Amino acid sequence: MKLGILKSRWTPLLIVLAGVIVTIIIAVTGPSAPRRIPQRQARLVEVVPLEAAETQVVVEALGSVQPALEVQLQAQVGGQVIEVSPSLIPGGRVAAGEVLLRIDPREYEFAARQRKSDLAMAEQSLRLEESQQETAQREYELMGEAAGSGDPAMMLREPQIESARSAYDAALAAYEQALLNLDRTAVTAPFNAVVQDRYVDRGGVIGASSAIASLVGTDACWVEAMVPADDVPWIDVPRADGSGGSSARVRQNAVWEEGVWRDGRVLGRTSSLDDQGRMVKVIVEVTDPFSVRRSNAGEPELLVGSFVNVEIFGRTIENAVVVERTHVHDGDTVWLMDDEGALRIRAIDPAYVGEDIVVVTEGLEAGESVVTSYLSAPVEGMPLRVRAEGREGEGREGEGREAEGVTE
């Protein structure tokens, strides 16, 4: 009886002790897995290969449209306005030589007839004096030695003939001036133009130098673009004979449809910096800015005084690598992925820096892969992986899960 009770008390303790002994034996004699140091996870990035080619520099700038020709038309003679052209209104377009206004010509016609009569009288006096000189010449020759004591010039009537010629020249000049004044009663357009303002009306009386109208030329306009001084060497200006000059194009973003530009050409530039920064004024000419010619029918018009975007096509750079500006970091470094999938941070010295691109001639090679993804904490040599086609996370050589540091 006592033996049975004793067995029932020690049985659980023996079972627990046996379990502990078995566990220890398994832990000592069982297989063990070696401990591995976890690898760094490769960062998933996107890359694009670099290419080397001949690259044309495109200088981008902002500019304002200014008239190439602008004049305040003035009367050269006075009088009453008897006729005004229907085109002489604000916004009206006039051709070179077109009569814009007529002044009462009667007073000037009278003056012209009077000067013509004076000229005829002066011409008759000159002819009479020339006839008398011929007579004096014959008499002088007949007198021979007897004429030696007298003044030959007086005897040949040279003072009289000179006076008659001077009177004739003066009469001729007065007549031509009268004709010129008569011609000036018809005021014409000096060039192809659009009328900005008109200051006279029919029936009004104007004097010499009175303002008639304000005209702006339609054959061409100028765009004054402000270009950084560092970009000026890439721009060609015309030669002494007027040929050459970088091509350009302009666009009014706020008005024109997307992709619409007007072609132009660089005419010249200033030789000094502006007062507000290291900027140089470059003049770009745009022909037919108001689309008057048939060849430009339907083209958008440039508005005088408006602000436009300008692209100037400068010189070309041989064997250049173009990198998007967003892929250049800290102003002068590029992130590259080498053949082993490691990050390389390389400093560059750009040959040209545009608004959207950076052109490099040294420091980058064609075929290298530039990292286009953003890395929050880039470190030289850090592992990278690219997104393989059809599978996310596969490394450049297909290493897959090993690129993430995952082991089996």
Classify residue 388 by its DSSP letter. Answer: B
**Residue that the structure tokens 């009268």 belong to:** 178
pLDDT tens profile 287-302? 999 998 888 888 899 9
pLDDT tens profile 272-283? 887 767 889 999
Percent of the chain with pLDDT over 70: 81
Q: How far is the C-alpha of 260 from the C-alpha of 245, rounded, in Å?
A: 22
Q: How many CA atoms lie within 13 A of 329 on its CB side?
A: 16
Q: Specify the pTM.
A: 0.70
Confidence of residue 160 (pLDDT cuts 50, 70, 90): confident
Q: How far is the C-alpha of 212 from the C-alpha of 83, rounded, in Å?
A: 13
249: pLDDT strictly greater than 90: yes
Q: How far is the C-alpha of 43 from the C-alpha of 221, rounded, in Å?
A: 55
